[in-house]
Amino acid sequence: MNKTFESLKNYIIEADTSISDLLDLYIKKSAELDRVNQLTEDLSKKLLESENINREARKEIESLINYVKNN
Backbone angles phi and psi of 63, in degrees to 5: -65, -45
pLDDT of residue 64: 96
Please tell me the predicted confidence (pLDDT) of residue 71.
Answer: 85
Tell me the residue ranges of DSSP E strands in 1-71.
Answer: none
Cα separation, 10 vs 15, in Å, equals: 9
With a threshold of 0.75, does the pTM exceed it? no
Reported as a single tens digit per residue, the pLDDT across 14-70 is 999 999 999 999 999 999 999 999 999 999 999 999 999 999 999 999 999 999 999
pLDDT at residue 1 is higher than 80: no
The HSE-up count of residue 57 (CA atoms within 13 Å, CB side) is 6
pLDDT of residue 2: 87
